[in-house]
Amino acid sequence: MGSRKLTHLDERNRPTMVDVGAKAVTHRSAVAEARLRMPRAVGTALRRAGQRTKKGPVFDTAVVAGVMAAKRTHELIPFCHPLGLENCLIEIEQRSSVEIVVRCQVSVHHRTGVEMEALTGASVAALTIYDMCKALSHEICIEKVRLLGKTGGRRPFVRHKG
């Protein structure tokens, strides 16, 4: 980690919001992912039902929930800055009868990044899928919530395979 330090602590080690006032406004973007693993019978039932349950269209509802969550990240994570997101795209793919992948891509022109918004959007979309499918099984697992990449700040990031 070199000389990096935690950014949300002041000189007296008290929690604080980072002052971004002196930073340049740039185009910032981030992509995050969450994966769900489920018993084969659950995935098969979900696919056969066209991704619908008695609660409604699972993937469509998860998209709406993920976007809403990304827009409200600052209300959930204490030191996140409120941002007027310019774009939030949630994509959901049922890759097999045991895996669903949720991706959230967020962008804004601002002084601070949108990693937390992308992570929150992907996480809440995955939680919504869990909620709508839990009647089929509580063995559904949300796994690998992770940042895939970010641009626009001092340290761009791209996750390598793995």
> Domain limits of the chain?
26-150
Please, which residues bridge with residue 102 across strands?
34, 92
Contacts of 63 (CB under 8 A, 6+ apart): 90, 92, 125
pLDDT at 6 (0 to 100): 65
Closest C-alpha to 30, from 159, 160, 161, 162 = 159
Residues marked as catalytic: 131
pLDDT at 33 (0 to 100): 98
Distances in whole angstroms, Cα of residue 66 to Cα of each of 18, 38, 42, 92: 25, 20, 22, 11
> CA 90 to CA 118: how far, in whole Å?
9
pLDDT in tens, the chain (162 residues): 455 676 777 778 787 777 787 888 999 999 999 999 999 999 999 999 999 999 999 999 999 999 999 999 999 999 999 999 999 999 999 999 999 999 999 999 999 989 999 999 999 999 999 999 999 999 999 999 999 999 998 888 999 876
Superfamily holding 26-150 = Molybdopterin cofactor biosynthesis C (MoaC) domain (3.30.70.640)
pLDDT at 1 (0 to 100): 47
Closest C-alpha to 38, from 92, 76, 90, 94 = 94
pLDDT at 2 (0 to 100): 52
Instruction: Read off the amino acid at residue 144.
Output: K
Alpha helices in 49-160 (DSSP H): 58-71, 73-76, 115-133
Q: How many CB atoms lie within 10 A of CB 45?
A: 16
